[in-house]
A and B are shown apart, each in its own frame.
Chain A
Amino acid sequence: MILDSKIPEGPLAEKWDKHKFNVKLVNPANKRKYDIIVVGTGLAGASAAATLAELGYNVKAFCYQDSPRRAHSIAAQGGINAAKNYQNDGDSVYRLFYDTIKGGDYRAREANVYRLAQVSVNIIDQCVAQGVPFAREYGGLLANRSFGGAQVSRTFYARGQTGQQLLLGAYSALNRQIAYGKVKLYPRTEMLDLVMVDGKARGIVTRHLVTGKIESHSAHAVILATGGYGNVFFLSTNAMGSNATAAWRAYKKGAFFANPCFTQIHPTCIPVSGGYQSKLTLMSESLRNDGRVWVPKAVGDNRAPQDIPEDERDYFLERKYPSFGNLVPRDVASRNAKQACDEGRGVGTTKLAVYLDFADVIKRDGADKVAQKYGNLFDMYAKITGEDPYTTPMRIYPAVHYTMGGLWVDYNLMTTVPGLYATGECNFSDHGANRLGASALMQGLADGYFVIPYTIGDYLAQMPSTRVETSHPAFKEAETALKASVDRLLSINGTRTVDEFHKALGQIMWDYCGMARNAEGLQFAKQEIRKLRDEFWRDVKIVGVNEELNITLEKAGRVADFLELGELMVDDALNRNESCGGHFREEFQTPENEALRDDENYTYVAAWQYTGDNQQAVLHKEELKFENVKLTQRSYK
């Protein structure tokens, strides 16, 4: 199979406009004859569901949460990028495009990223019209800040909760369509399989998380907006319920999975404090605008931070990257923190932390001013750690935060399964090997509000509006298979809990497929994951029955999928014999320990095809062509 990215011909800046003209349209009167399933109600899902319903399609929206407003987009803090150039500081669509391609270490598609930068400006207009309360200046116009190493101020924000405010905007648009009867909402409902009829995605099978009822839903197209797979690592900044099941089961039905090893480890998280830890909390990287990262110069220096004199501290980011300093991209900041800890210079009782120190800015601007900027983050830190960051430097350590990999999609956001689309973090398309700060919210909303509503019409316009009934054998087969797999899980009656398996998997992934990887470790990890998966299916302990609210059964299904996805991530990391962005292979680094890309051999998207349980997945390559940007070694010195 040859992967066709369907990138339109023509100059970069004209591709999207041309494509919008060339796509086929569904007649307004005919739109009501088409049904679309949207799985996930975060930014990418809620925006798509609302917009498609506004256009006239019948939408069914699914989420595992009790309310669509709780999807994990809500936890995004920092902001959303847009090439508005309101600050007159030299920003443009092209600069946002260029920064995103470069930040992604040249492993993303030019055409997709350019379109993302183009529609970014519409997102801000849309959100303001919905009543999203972005930060404003005294003149009443919108405020911006520079974020995550960008040289321009293009980030729009809503205090430290931009994600919540943007999601509430999309949620309100969704609610309006629910009230009109154009969207039917299915909360506390989890997609567990994709149903194909005549080679096309025609529906899903779900389990209701309160009653256990297994049900089929039919449609003309299915959109997965189910987020990322960071919870493979057990500990991540994802919500407890975030999972890869919908995407993984679509993969098993023929959707290729692209670049699974590209995971982002965020540098400013609160460190792990003990074995009971259930999740990690991120603190906005805006903190790096004023906080200074350091460790003691000497190995094994156990003094309290305030007792370590200035000349015995190593401000390692400022030392190694004088021009970007503490504002280097996430992957660089994370790797350097790990390196400092590996050298034995970590701080705190676990020694797996570095300091983020605000003493200088407090001295310069006063505690009040610092509180205005970062008050809520400081409070959150104090609540979790019991320490006061105004007087003691914060301790931070990198944590899994975002997954750049995901289902392979073409320019229309369609997967390799006709009629199955993937949007937001669920797809792989825009961030390459490393995502820039404040770009996740941008991509989720770009896909949902401004891309999929055009591209899905092109597909629907070319298919008859005839519906497939859920009594169709394809649905019945999928339901039967699902019930059998649930029964199998319930019948194991082993001795180890689901969380024990999940934690064990997370540890393997973190140790061997985390911030630094090498071939030997990855090969070892592959064997360990296989062993663990085998043990899971022999020895997992689940109590209760299917026909009830069963929290261990829910989790077991998700962890079973993580145990497979983890292996694919390892395969992908092994295959990619280079370092790029969040993927750092120790064998491939420059003399200064920076990531060493191999553009000649690896300028491609690795898209994996499922071939059967416990079978080696098959690799397909989509060559990336850079016609507008020259590939260079990223340098933040």
Chain B
Amino acid sequence: MAGNNPNSKPMNLTLKVWRQKNFQSAGKMETYQVKDISPEMSFLEMMDVLNEDLLRKGIDPVAFDHDCREGICGTCSLYINGRAHGPERGTTTCQLHMRKFSDGDTITIEPWRAGPFPILKDLIVDRSAMDRIQQAGGYISVNTGGVPDANEIPIPKDIADKAFDAATCIQCGACVAACKNGSAMLFVSAKVSQLALLPQGKVERKTRVENMVAQMDKEGFGSCTNIGSCAAECPVGISLENIAKLNREYIGAAFTSENV
């Protein structure tokens, strides 16, 4: 069915999927077969096919998080064949397409695995710990109204671009899932960097980094040991430089802040 290349053959696949009724229950891997999967399908459309099939058989469909299916909302997750968001670099699960797989493949599908991300059902985990870190300081304290004209705050383009690169984080949690320590440093560093780079964010830079790191620790995320799996698996390419920046901000704040 491909646009200009109609020579793509449907595939039959074996899926090994983590099933877990809820947080309290024990889970286990189940094996399912899916047939006639078009290479043009997205990975989640393949999961839709599985679910329609299960539903017709009266079996509870596999619950997985997804929403925009455009790679921007950060809702989708999935550990696919041992990789966060699957085998393709720089790609969320929803943008992964079945042409990356071959007929007869066995695909293992698991939820994000990290202490602070409890499983709610099957492949869905609770990522609200990330929201709570944002609530601890991921903002500039301005109320609506009474702000200066936008062009009264000139920002050098290279700084603005750097802040933008950090701001592209979609808060999916792949960095945490990919990390052997379950560290959220890449995620936290993205927000800290973005706001510390911008003149508007400088006023609160010390308290922000202290509060966000304190909340991160409180949620039980692990420590960073500079392996870099997080950046390797990040679907939007958040750079490790941000972690270096976070460390600098944190140490700087510790030496100079009156809040410590």
* Residues of chain B contacted by A67 (CB below 8 angstroms): 74, 127-128, 130-131, 171
Is A551 an interface position by the 8 A CB rule?
A: yes
- Which of B22, B143, B195, B201 is the one whose CB lies under 8 Å from A549? B22
- Which B residues, 147 to 163, have Cβ-Cβ distances below 8 Å to chain A? 147-151, 153-157, 160, 163
- Which of B4, B51, B67, B201 is the one whose CB lies under 8 Å from A348? B4
Q: Are B97 and A274 in contact, CB atoms less than 8 angstroms apart?
A: no
The smallest C-beta distance from B30 to any residue of chain A, in angstroms, reads 15
Is A36 an interface position by the 8 A CB rule?
A: no
**C-alpha spacing A599/B145, complex, angstroms:** 39
* Residues of chain A contacted by B81 (CB below 8 angstroms): none
- Which A residues, 113 to 153, have Cβ-Cβ distances below 8 Å to chain B? 122, 124-131, 133-142
**C-alpha spacing A21/B143, complex, angstroms:** 21
The smallest C-beta distance from B189 to any residue of chain A, in angstroms, reads 15
Q: Are A549 and B71 in contact, CB atoms less than 8 angstroms apart?
A: no
**C-alpha spacing A544/B153, complex, angstroms:** 55
Q: Are A75 and B48 in contact, CB atoms less than 8 angstroms apart?
A: no
Q: Are B73 and A133 in contact, CB atoms less than 8 angstroms apart?
A: no
The stretch among B11-19, B134-142, B226-234, B250-258 that forms the contact with chain A is B134-142
* Residues of chain B contacted by A142 (CB below 8 angstroms): 150-151
The stretch among B55-63, B178-186, B217-225 that forms the contact with chain A is B55-63
* Residues of chain B contacted by A159 (CB below 8 angstroms): 164
In the complex formed, the residue of A with least CB distance to B155 is A140
**C-alpha spacing A141/B154, complex, angstroms:** 5
Q: Are B70 and A158 in contact, CB atoms less than 8 angstroms apart?
A: no
In the complex formed, the residue of B with least CB distance to A47 is B144
- Which of A164, A349, A453, A499 is the one whose CB lies under 8 Å from B52? A499
Q: With A51-B144, A67-B130, A380-B71 as given contacts, are A128 and B150 in contact (CB-CB < 8 Å)?
A: yes
- Residues 254-275 of chain A: 1 if any B CB is under 8 Å from the residue's CB, otherwise 0? 0000000000000000010110
The stretch among A172-180, A287-295, A329-337, A613-621 that forms the contact with chain B is A172-180
* Residues of chain B contacted by A551 (CB below 8 angstroms): 51, 61, 63
Is A343 an interface position by the 8 A CB rule?
A: no
Is A507 an interface position by the 8 A CB rule?
A: no
**C-alpha spacing A301/B171, complex, angstroms:** 46
Q: Are A210 and B121 in contact, CB atoms less than 8 angstroms apart?
A: yes
The stretch among B39-47, B103-111, B238-246 that forms the contact with chain A is B39-47
Q: With A69-B74, A453-B144 as given contacts, are A131 and B55 in contact (CB-CB < 8 Å)?
A: no
**C-alpha spacing A210/B126, complex, angstroms:** 10
The stretch among A310-318, A382-390, A410-418, A585-593 that forms the contact with chain B is A382-390
* Residues of chain A contacted by B22 (CB below 8 angstroms): 548-549
Q: Are A175 and B131 in contact, CB atoms less than 8 angstroms apart?
A: yes
A239-B73, A276-B38, A497-B55 are known contacts; what are 16 more A-B pairs with Cβ within 8 Å? A70-B74, A72-B67, A125-B148, A125-B149, A125-B150, A127-B150, A129-B200, A136-B155, A141-B151, A159-B164, A165-B164, A304-B4, A386-B40, A387-B2, A541-B56, A551-B63
Which A-B residue pairs are the 4 nearest by beta carbons? A140-B154, A172-B139, A129-B147, A133-B164
